[in-house]
Amino acid sequence: MKTVYFDNAATTQMRDDVVKAMVDVMSNNYGNASSSHSFGRSSKTLIEKSRKAIASYLNVSAGEIVFTSGGTEADNLVLRSAVRDLGVSHIITSKIEHHAVLHTVEQLKKEYGITFDYVDVNNDGSIDYPHLEALLNTSKKTLVSLMHVNNEIGNLLDIKRVADLCKAHNALFHSDAVQSIGHYNMDLQDVPVDFLAASAHKFHGPKGVGFAFVRKNSGLKPLIFGGEQERGLRAGTESVHNIVGLETSVKLAYDNLEADSKKVKAIKGYFIEKLKQDIPGVIFNGRSADMDKSSYTTVNVCLPVPPNKSAMLLFQLDLKGIACSKGSACQSGSSQNSHVLAEILSEDDLLKPSIRFSFSIFNTKEEVDYVIAVLKDFV
């Protein structure tokens, strides 16, 4: 059976060079990086080399990169420590954030009694910047948490505008950049975010590793206690092979960014045109059809299918070998519809099937033709 993987926002296929780098480390650098002997020093050297390399692509110092198990841990580290240790008593976020942020903020309210506000979201899924500025007019110590690229509809946040707004109002700014690191250049000297989260498996690296960018002298304290790894900010024996895999995926992503993004943009553009041509009545959710205002990797569409037929769509696509999703992979076990689409779609459109298709360098236009043919037949 023909198979097509159009679910790259959930996770990506690892590059061969990343796998090779990791296997080499597992075979030859198995020492504990906290050990003082030569085996430990060898592993420690690899970790610090990776930290320095990743920092160079973001134009930050190596000490501002903290390795984590992924984006969710990085989000929790920042949000929980901001409240517990930095005196933050008010958080501004949006209802279309990843649940790693939304559920953490809700839990912090229960534990610490903080207040939080949701910035208004426009019908196209964009953030209402004037409302954000109004919410920032508060005497409370405030942290803003808004994602750079929405993981379901692909909308791009004007991250520099938000960072500058926060700085002007003496608020801290954290951005879940899990869907953008490795896909967009990020100069963190130009964009004054205080904290940022990233995950390797979103840009052809391994699962189970990511990092938090923590602006120096922020005062952030650890989420996980134990040893003094990661300069005391993240206890636990470091996963050296994963960290090297992360570094390799960052390097390959940014060294090939121009060519790779051009290829993926062409696939997304072709997919959009074929949808418009072959499936009249298709709706593009959020700004996902706008190549300048959404991620070049993601299209989220609402198909003109009656409600009684919509429940079968993902099942039918899977039978045809097509991998895609109705939203975040983290919520695939939930019986509820997408919380993101619930904010921007009408009640009628929510009854129709909305599907997220996300692309990578490993996809082809021939795969697009196959998927469009299957969708057309189903509709």
When divided into structural domains, the chain yields a total of 2
Q: Give the integer Cα–Cα distance in Å for 211 and 59.
A: 15
The secondary structure of 227-246, three-state, reads CCCHHHCCCCCCCHHHHHHH
Per-residue pLDDT, 334:
44
Q: Kindly indicate the confidence band of residue 335, based on its pLDDT and cuts at 50, 70 and 90.
A: very low
Lowest mean pLDDT among 87-91, 137-141, 282-286, 303-307: 303-307
Query: How confident is the model over 141-166, as a mean pLDDT?
Result: 98
Considering the domain architecture, whether residues 160 and 276 belong to the same structural domain is answered as no
Q: Which of 231, 255, 279 is the last residue of a domain?
A: 255
Per-residue pLDDT, 312:
84
Considering the domain architecture, whether residues 251 and 270 belong to the same structural domain is answered as no
For 218-268, the pLDDT digits (tens) are 999 999 999 999 999 999 999 999 999 999 999 999 999 999 999 999 999
Considering the domain architecture, whether residues 263 and 231 belong to the same structural domain is answered as no
Considering the domain architecture, whether residues 37 and 179 belong to the same structural domain is answered as yes
Query: How confident is the model over 1-23, as a mean pLDDT?
Result: 97
Considering the domain architecture, whether residues 268 and 231 belong to the same structural domain is answered as no
Considering the domain architecture, whether residues 329 and 350 belong to the same structural domain is answered as yes
**Could you list the active site residues?**
330
Domain extent, residue 30, equals 16-255
Considering the domain architecture, whether residues 293 and 347 belong to the same structural domain is answered as yes
Does residue 308 contact residue 355 with C-beta atoms inside 8 Å?
no
pLDDT at 30 over 60: yes
Considering the domain architecture, whether residues 57 and 69 belong to the same structural domain is answered as yes
Does residue 278 contact residue 376 with C-beta atoms inside 8 Å?
yes
Q: Which of 255, 279, 296 is the last residue of a domain?
A: 255
Q: Give the integer Cα–Cα distance in Å for 279 and 305.
A: 11
Query: How confident is the model over 148-160, as a mean pLDDT?
Result: 98
For 102-138, the pLDDT digits (tens) are 999 999 999 999 999 999 999 999 999 999 999 999 9
Per-residue pLDDT, 310:
81
Q: Give the integer Cα–Cα distance in Å for 307 and 333.
A: 20
Per-residue pLDDT, 306:
86
pLDDT at 39 over 70: yes
Question: Residue 33's domain is classified under what CATH number?
Answer: 3.40.640.10
Per-residue pLDDT, 328:
53
Q: Kindly indicate the confidence band of residue 327, based on its pLDDT and cuts at 50, 70 and 90.
A: low
Strand partners, 6: none
- Token readout for 228 is 């003094």
pLDDT at 377 over 90: yes
Mean pLDDT of the chain: 95
What pTM did the predictor assign? 0.95
Considering the domain architecture, whether residues 80 and 177 belong to the same structural domain is answered as yes
Residues in the chain: 379
- Token readout for 305 is 């299918």
Considering the domain architecture, whether residues 47 and 189 belong to the same structural domain is answered as yes
Residue type, 148: H
Which single residue is written with the structure tokens 């920092």? 55
Q: Which of 255, 289, 319 is the last residue of a domain?
A: 255
Does residue 355 contact residue 326 with C-beta atoms inside 8 Å?
yes
Query: How confident is the model over 55-65, as a mean pLDDT?
Result: 98
Considering the domain architecture, whether residues 108 and 244 belong to the same structural domain is answered as yes
Does residue 148 contact residue 169 with C-beta atoms inside 8 Å?
no
Sheet holding 298-302, edge to edge: 283-284, 298-302, 354-358
Counting residues of the chain whose pLDDT is more than 90, the rounded percentage is: 93
Question: Residue 345's domain is classified under what CATH number?
Answer: 3.90.1150.10
Considering the domain architecture, whether residues 106 and 37 belong to the same structural domain is answered as yes
Query: How confident is the model over 59-74, as a mean pLDDT?
Result: 98
Per-residue pLDDT, 1:
78
pLDDT at 330 over 70: no
pLDDT at 331 over 80: no
Counting residues of the chain whose pLDDT is more than 70, the rounded percentage is: 97
pLDDT at 36 over 70: yes
- Token readout for 296 is 């070049």
Q: How far is CA 232 from the centre of its chain?
A: 25
Per-residue pLDDT, 308:
81
For 73-87, the pLDDT digits (tens) are 999 999 999 999 999
User: What one-character-per-residue DSSP string does 325-362 give?
Assistant: BSS-GGGTT-SSPPHHHHHHS-HHHHTS-EEEEE--TT
